Structure 1
Amino acid sequence: MSTNDATSITRPPRPPKPPKPHPSITALATFLSSLPQTDIVPPPLPSKLRYDIYGSLLLLPPTSPLTTEPWSTFISSLPAHSQSDLYTSLAAALGVTHIAINSPIPAKSTEDGNTIRAPQITPLHGFFGDPNAKDFEEVYWTSTVQHGIFQTWCPLHTMFSRGNITEKSRIHDIVAKQLGGGKEGKVGAVDLFVGIGYFAFSYLKGGVDVVFGWDINRWSVEGCRRGAGGNKWGVSTDPRDGLKDERLVLFEESNEFAPGRLREIKRRMEEDGRGWVHIMHVNLGLLPSSSCAYKTALEVLELNDEEKEAWVHVHENVAREDVDEMEVSIIKKFGELAGELGMVVEVGIEHVEFVKSWAPGVWHCVFDVRVLVLRR
């Protein structure tokens, strides 16, 4: 055999390296190793944690390993200082300052007196403030940016739904497409359950000139006001002088007053020679049903001066197999309410969006209702 000959050697493949644990799991392991020896055996480390991070806030769902057995019992058995050490370690590992458990808002929250649909959170780490505080500066606020839109809210008093991000994006794209070819005159939208600007901000970023929003939760209105400022949009919470250069006009009151408020703003604008805006979209983002605002939406659209298409985005919780029946019901209801108001309308549903699962077999759906108010 010459010295240039090579002998082929087959080596067994190297075993794959085990994946590195997530920083949150490493933090838990380090915490457990720091505990003094006791008769209480810690639970096995979870393979991963479920959570959401918004700015400096970490929200644990009620199904997280830390909030369910056996970890929940183990944590509650620890002395207070050890529990504090646990959450301090977790916060440091994930780069946050506040931790809370986030529970879903009960479907019957309105019937149970929670008319503002206040969030159900349990603070675990960080100073959230007094839940009874009245001053906006005395409580903790957090924020996030989705699709380039800044939003801020007070977790003690205002909910934030990550699952709505697809609908926010869809609304933006609809408006951007509709207005992509330009527009004649000013175009507006009305959000009858504006919250912290979940959908109102998508209308603004999509290109409408102004959004009018209503909410009875003062904390939501303040979050919406702050969020608009963060996006460099002019905002007014006192539009008694009529619409000027504001892109967002907020009302801290029941949306039953919307038609009257808009009628007054329209009158003042027309007196000033500026002309009214065409309301192209009305958003009804209340769950489990927004049927209470169908009539108000029609009254708002009656203020339009021309026979132009408009859309009402109706949010409803509905079983998948009942969606077709719900479409028929919505069209029928809009027709009946229009008759009560003395309006002549054409109503149809152009699209049904399945936003997210609400409960087993039940979906949060948005029905895009096309409404054409006919002038007689």
Structure 2
Amino acid sequence: MAQRNVPVSSRLGDVRYEIRGALSRRARELEAEGREIIRLNIGNPGLFGFSVPVHVRAAVESRLAQSEAYCHQQGLMAAREAIAARETARGAFGAHAENVFIGNGVSELIDLTLRALLNSSEEVLLPSPDYPLWSAATVLNGGRARYYPCPASRGHLPDPDEVESLITPRTRALVLINPNNPTGAVYPTDLLKALVRVAERHRLLLLSDEIYDGILYDQAAFQPLAPLAGDLPCVTYSGLSKMHRACGYRVGWISLSGADSKLAEFRSALDLLSALRLCANVPTQWGVAPAINGPDTTAALTSPGGRLYEARRAVIEGVRNSEFLSVVEPQGALYAFPSVRNEHFSQFDDETFALDLLETENVLVVPGTGFNIRERNHFRLTLLPEPDQIADVFDRIERCLDRLAAGSKARARHVA
């Protein structure tokens, strides 16, 4: 008797992660054929020549002999105390080491917190565009994603009234990604205060993804959410991956803030789930306190003349010189989210464009729809390459768009 295919969870039908999806697989096939692909799909600093700060790496290396046993399910106390002290210094209400949980990257902690929070069909408010792991974790934990739009016409910022209009009796949480991935938007303080008031009126848990909190350009100012939330329950996410260029270390953390009486049951659920996966990667947790308390190694990269700043400048100039593109200049994070002006195309499709760019110009970007937006004219690229390479990439993008525009005009003439 022939064996039937192994069935999979129906929830996977609503899960996408185009950052490492079909286009990335096609890029690997082309690389196997000998093509050199410029991969701009992932914000992975180590692949672009960035290094973990020396003092962070040294701390990890010096503690290897003390890292061979499981640690506490919440993480090493020295790391948790450093995280809590930073949150307290920022003004977070009730931040302390017992309210800090360390995980194998923020990715694991997004999944863990939503698993602790959600019952079947309960809703989470997510930005559109979002980082798609948030959508995936919501669905995989039985929830439903409801998207509040952050369009380019508003500088990729949300409208608090629009967010509030989406709330239903089943809404449990409001997610903010600030500085934003994929758009690079940095949220003003007044906007954050308005969103806190929305959460307070509807008793929503605030989930604030702040992994890019120190990667800022052109005098942009980052405002952490927890101090504004006061005693309202808030979960702040951060880690070593981006600010400290340590993606492979897989160290992320969450800090709970707000009134302990409101957090007790949720905190117990997080403790149980943390215990079930035993603990996070122990050796690299020794790098947390030195990273938080040590010298600032990011400002030089994001200031004029710094590599990230100049890469961002190259993106802005590439868009400015393009016949087809526009962009909201990123104020933070490691990405830009350009859009293709639709007047040049009878019908533009971001996935078709991204595949054509890969096949003809050897450049891998992520289609905008991979970040859960309806518009089909955006794409995301990382700011991590050298500025000269980014300039070359925009030459390739322009050639690709020029061919697509010519084809679109030819089809329009044929139809006419």
Q: TM-score, normalised by structure 2?
A: 0.26
Q: Which structure: larger Rg?
A: 1
Using CA pairs below 8 Å that are at least 6 residues apart, which structure has the higher relative contact order?
2
Q: Which is richer in helix?
A: 2
Q: TM-score, normalised by structure 1?
A: 0.28
